[in-house]
Amino acid sequence: MMESKQIKIFHGPQHPGITGNMSVELDLIGETIQRARTHVGYLHRGFEKLVERRTVLQAFTIVCRICVPEPDPNEENFARAVEGLAGITISERAQYIRVMVQEMSRLAAQLLWMGGQSGSIGLGTVGQWSLYDRDLILDLFEQLTGGRVYHMYTFPGGVRRDLPAGFLLRLSELLDYLDKQLPRYDKIFFDNATFRTRAIGTGVIDSDTALERGYVGQALRGCGIERDLRRDNPYLVYDRLAFDIPTFDGGDVYSRALVRREEMRQSIRILRQVIAQMPEEGLVMQKLPKHRKFTLPKDDIYVATESARGEFGYYMAGDGSAHIRRMQVKGPSLIHGFTLLEPLLEGEELSNVALIMNSLGICPPEIER
Amino acid sequence: MNALTTRYDVTEKNPRLFSIEVDTRDAWREAIDFVTTHTAFVTLSQITCADWIEEEVFRLTYLFTDRARSQNLMVQLPIRRDGEGLPSLSNRFPQAEVMERDLHEMYGIPFEGNDTLYPFVLEGWTDLPPLRREFDTLAYVHAHYDFQQGREDNKDVKVEQKRRREEAKRLKAEQEEASHDGE
Amino acid sequence: MQQGLKQIEGLRQEGFVPYHTSLTEEVTAQQRTLESETEGLANTQTLIEKAIHWFQAHSMFVVAYGTGCGAIEMPPVFTSRYDIERLGVVGVATPRQADILIVSGYASLKTLRRIIRTYEQMSEPKYVIALGSCTINGGMYWDSYNTIKKLEDYLGVDMYVAGCMPRPEALIEGFVKLQAAIRDQTLEPGYVRYRDDYAWYRRNQEKVLGKNIAPQYEENYAGMELS
Amino acid sequence: MTFTPIDLRGIVAPFAAIGKALEHPRTVCYPAQTKTVAPDYRGFHTNDLSACIGCANCQDVCMNDAIDMVTIAQERNTRNKSGCIPRIDYGRCCWCNLCVDVCPPDSLGLGQECIHVAERSDTFLFFPKDAS
């Protein structure tokens, strides 16, 4: 065997193949990774401290910044945690609107993921298409909430404003368009020979320990374990909607990609049902008790939402004042980025790092908050 | 779940969230052993700490999720704020390593047996651990950073309203006086 | 007025005041209009200079570093919806080939160290676009212990874009204005300020980052000038 | 997956893209062509000066400390007890709409204008545009 030197490189933070602003320290012999260590902290803003300084009303505007690619699960979690602590039940119409926001956000996040995943193996065209389609969803968000990326729409007690006129019609038009578009993505991306050869058998997750180690989302469903919070721990009106939970057995990058591909179809299916079932009338926003002088009781709660990348949970404790005593964010990336990614990269080739990181959907801002 | 209720005093927060409270380290150790071996709650999904500075304790919450991912159980334990540590769980749950590392950095809790407690997200941090209640982030900001100039003409509206009210009163009085003088 | 300017000039030579500090301008509470006042510098470019600046303005290479949450609006800008390649703006992987650094939103201390490193590796002429409220006066994170509040204290910034998130149109507008400024040379580039007032910038950087940062930029620059 | 030496379908298929040349381009060519912003978009503030009562509710609710109450020269509303109107620092604002939600006379609003680009960082302090 040829003697080779061990070199250490930092994959990131200034690197086109990294998901966000983080870095992976790699020890290499030749092209093979011997040891990988994740480094985060480049995006630390101290959210949990800032939230403690603000009242509940004020804190709600900051939580959507915790995860940039999909801010809506954060708002949903925050709203549900406050509602759970204060004992508020929201109207049915507001619940349907929230489900709609969640699913639109999931679709947008999956399309963004598709751009990143294809970009990591050099398929630029897919990103050009999928980001265009994501932008159409963002346009709808702009009409609904007034903001493209940060919506600040889901509020404890409901949502901040009612649907604009003709919104559901425009949404179903978009769904028809996406229905036509998804088979084209199969052609260009999921059945693409380059992607298949690179992805099949790469980054295989051990399915035996997956549950115990707390993996979530596609990491579980990609190795054949059928878990989805929307069915297992239902929130909002998800128990009234019919959808399947796609699973694939490979445990590799390709299986996770196929899971996401199916999930986009399921999101469209859920959105169609929401459009059909949404009550015409109903209060969308319920005033909080004592409105602007709202206080949280001295209690704690944990709520979780199925985001596009897996379980997104908030622990929240109130102390009887208008401020939150403690809010801890548990994103899917904390475990995926350390406990899962580090061993997974060992023995892989350097060129597969971006591929694997993208398929796990690691998003650094939620690791370090 | 039944095994748990016979042994511990379980609080039901909502139909899918339960919590048990323990007081001492030994009881905590025992509770973790019991929960992970005799019940379905096998996944450690989060370790949280809340700072109750009035009671001089950190309240640690170990959140466990069951195999079906449908129920959550919180094991809560108060520890002293003055540097009391806990044994690390990283041998049994690999994911605990990074969570403990996070809490060590943010609160300064030493976890015995975790050898990765070097800096996590902060770089070259010498102040108090930032999430402790006594750390004042605004004071830190004013000591270390500058803000944009040009906003010094901000008025306190309460003061301004009072001043104008008094001014109006004075004007009125002066006018009345002037009209009296005229007579 | 003249004397005041002289005084500032003296201070500048000692390395105390950066060029953009407006000591002579009184910041009044008058209503500012949305149009910015661009001072027409004496436009005395030769034909060749004009050609060079025109080319410079139409080939802008952006270094791939998403430093903050503004990075999420960059994919739409660079792909087919807004397709900024129409204006000659392309992304590149390494700072050594790049002309533009986009500081997209807040910069935490750990990132600031990397931003400075990236910025100093870029070859001149180089420009910095600061995206979002956070780079101007702290933004949402004005009371956060770990983010800087004014980017201009640490880097020579050329263009600020308002918004939290700025829309893709706003980012494109930033590029368009920067291109016009480069083409007409109405701008005093940030890298010139950074080079000339390096002592001031360095002092600010050391104030928040400590002594353990990138090697002195000045030394390399002085070496370059001698050779 | 097998690779045949000459994949005829693979050679021909990319030419299908030529058909796209006849379609209408979808790109928003921004400086030349603008996309209409949604009617409820949260852009820069507007303030109806004939209704603003200078109550500083917006200042109190703003967690970013972005709003200053500043005295104006000529008063427009006699019910303005403090003689102050809000001035927004767009180096702080996050367009969260909370100040609009709490405004008692509904004078403050967020307009559709959303683009401001400047070379200097001290040009981001604005009085909201008068909406009256």
Note every long-range contact of B28-34, with CB atoms under 8 Å and residues 24 or more positions apart, other chains counting. Answer: B28/B75, B28/B77, B28/B86, B29/B87, B31/B75, B32/B62, B32/B75, B32/B89, B34/B4, B34/B7, B34/B8
Of the candidates A23, A45, A16, A36, the one whose C-alpha atom is nearest the C-alpha of residue A362 is A23
CB B58 within 8 A of CB B107: yes
Distance CA A128, CA A119 (A): 10
Cβ distance of B147 and C142 shorter than 8 Å: yes
Which chain A positions have a beta carbon within 8 Å of C65's beta carbon? 13-14, 21
CB contact under 8 A, B16 and A233: yes
Q: Are A160 and A141 in contact (CB under 8 A)?
A: no
- CATH match of D45-130 with 3.30.70.3270: yes
pLDDT tens-digit readout, C160-199: 998 888 888 888 989 999 998 888 888 888 888 888 888 8
> What do you get for the CA distance between the two ends of chain A, in Å?
46
Q: Is the pLDDT of residue D1 over 60?
A: no
**Which residues in chain C are contacts of D71 at CB distance < 8 A?**
29
For residue A244, the tally of other CB atoms under 10 A from its CB is 13
Report how far residue A179's alpha carbon sits from residue B35's, in angstroms, rounded to the nearest whole number. 46
d(CA C18, CA C23): 10
Contact residues on chain A for D39, CB-CB shorter than 8 A: 143, 164
* Structural domains for chain A: 6-368 (1.10.645.10)
Residue A3, token pair as written in the block: 């003697």
Put simply, the answer to whether C29 touches D70 (Cβ < 8 Å) is yes
As a whole number of angstroms, the distance between CA B150 and CA D87 comes to 12
CATH number of the C45-212 domain: 3.40.50.12280
Q: Return the bridge partners of B82, or none.
A: none
Identity of the residue in D44, D94, D124 whose CB atom sits nearest the CB atom of C136: D124
Cβ distance D114 to C174 less than 8 Å, yes or no, reads no
Domain ranges of chain B: 2-182
- ipTM confidence: 0.87
Determine, for residues B144 and C136 on separate chains, whether the beta-carbon distance falls below 8 Å: no
Would the CA dihedral through A251, A252, A258, A260 be positive or negative? positive
pLDDT of residue C215: 63
Which tokens hold the place of B157? 């509206």
Q: How many CB atoms lie within 10 A of CB A41?
A: 23
Q: Give the residue ranges of DSSP H helices in chain A.
A: 47-53, 56-63, 72-86, 92-119, 124-145, 167-185, 193-199, 218-221, 229-232, 253-277, 332-335, 341-345, 353-360, 365-368
CA distance B96 to chain A (A): 9
Each residue's pLDDT expressed in tens, for chain B with a length of 183 residues: 677 777 777 888 888 888 888 888 888 888 888 888 888 888 888 899 888 888 888 888 999 988 888 888 889 888 888 878 888 888 888 888 888 888 888 888 888 888 888 888 888 888 888 888 888 888 888 888 888 887 777 778 788 788 888 888 888 888 888 887 766
Give the CA count within 13 Å in the CB-facing half-sphere of C13.
Answer: 5
Distance from the Cα of B18 to chain D's closest Cα (Å) equals: 34
**Are A148 and C165 in contact (CB < 8 Å)?**
yes
Scan for tokens 């025992």, then name that residue. Answer: B30
Of A146, A150, A200, the CB nearest to D40: A146
Query: CA-CA distance, C147 to A21, in Å (whole number)?
Result: 14
The pair of three-digit structure tokens given for residue D102, joined into one six-digit string: 């709490």
Report the relative pairing of strands A23-29 and B86-87 from DSSP bridges: unpaired
Determine the residue of chain C that is closest to B153 in CA distance: C29
In angstroms, rounded to a whole number, what is the distance separating the alpha carbons of residues B47 and B69? 17
Q: Do D38 and A142 touch (CB under 8 A)?
A: yes
**Percent of chain D, pLDDT > 90?**
0
Which chain B residue has its CA at the smallest distance from A336's CA?
A: B95
**Contact check, Cβ <8 Å, B157/D55:** yes
pLDDT of residue A103: 92
Alpha-carbon distance of B183 to C60, in angstroms, equals 80
The full DSSP string for A321-366 is SSBEEEEEEE-HHHHIIIIIHHHHHTTSBGGGHHHHHHHHT--THH
Integer Cα distance of C109 and C153 in angstroms? 13
Question: CB contact, 8 Å: A293 with chain B?
Answer: no
Q: What is the DSSP letter of A42?
A: T
Å between B107 CA and nearest CA of chain D: 25
- DSSP-based three-state secondary structure for B113: coil
What DSSP assignment string belongs to B11-23? Answer: EEEETTEEEEE--
Which structure tokens are listed for C74?
């960059």
Residue A274 has, within 13 A of its CA and on its CB side, a CA count of: 29
The pair of structure tokens assigned to B178 is 């002037």
Chain B positions in Cβ-Cβ contact with residue C153 (cut-off 8 Å): 146
Residue C65 near chain A (CB below 8 Å):
yes
Give pLDDT < 70 ranges for chain C: 1-44, 214-227
User: pLDDT means per 10 residues in chain A (369 residues)?
Assistant: 76 80 87 88 87 86 86 90 87 90 91 88 86 91 88 87 88 92 87 85 85 86 88 88 89 90 92 89 74 81 89 88 87 87 88 88 85
Q: Which residues 115-174 of B are in CB contact (within 8 Å) with A?
A: 119-123, 130-131, 133, 135, 137-138
What pLDDT, on the 0 to 100 scale, is given for residue D3? 59
Domain boundaries along the sequence of chain D: 45-130
Nearest to D95 among C29, C135, C164 (CB): C164
Nearest partner of A312 among A67, A73, A61, A51, judged by Cα: A73
Report how far Cα B152 is from the mean position of its chain's Cα atoms: 33
**Domain covering B2-182, topology:** Beta Polymerase; domain 2 (3.30.460)
Asked if C145 is an interface residue toward chain B (Cβ–Cβ < 8 A), one would say yes
Residue C24 pLDDT: 32
- pLDDT for D46 equals 86
Which three-class secondary structure state does DSSP give residue C128? strand
Helix axes of A92-119 and A72-86: crossing angle, nearest 10 degrees: 150
CB–CB contact A128 C108 (8 Å): no
- D10 vs C100: which has the higher pLDDT: C100
Q: Which pLDDT value is given to residue C43?
A: 58
Return d(Cα A221, Cα A248) in angstroms, integer: 6
Does the beta-carbon distance from B160 to D84 stay under 8 Å?
Answer: yes
**Residue D129 host element (H or E):** strand D129-130
- Residue contact A42–C145, C-beta within 8 A: no
Question: Residue A2 has what pLDDT?
Answer: 58
Q: Extract the tokens encoding B127.
A: 């102040």
Structure tokens at D47: 């303030």
- List A304's β-bridge partners, or say none: A313
CB-based burial, A274-295: b 16+ in 10 Å, e otherwise: bbeebeeebebbbebeeeeebb
For residue C145, give the nearest of B141, B149, B153 by CB distance: B141
**Crossing angle of helices C168-184/C47-57, nearest 10°?**
160
Of the candidates B123, B141, B148, which has its C-beta nearest C109's C-beta? B123
**Which stretches of chain D sit within 8 Å of chain C by CB?**
26-31, 34-35, 44, 64-65, 70-71, 87, 89-95, 113-127
Report helix, strand and coil shares of chain D as percent, to nearest 5: 20, 15, 60
What is the pLDDT, as a whole number, of residue C25? 37
SS3 A80: helix
- Between CA A294 and CA C150 the distance in angstroms is 34
B137 in D contact zone (CB under 8 Å) = no
Structure confidence at residue D2 as a pLDDT band (50, 70, 90): low
| B152, closest residue in chain D (CA to CA) | D68
* Domain parsing of chain C, residue ranges: 45-212
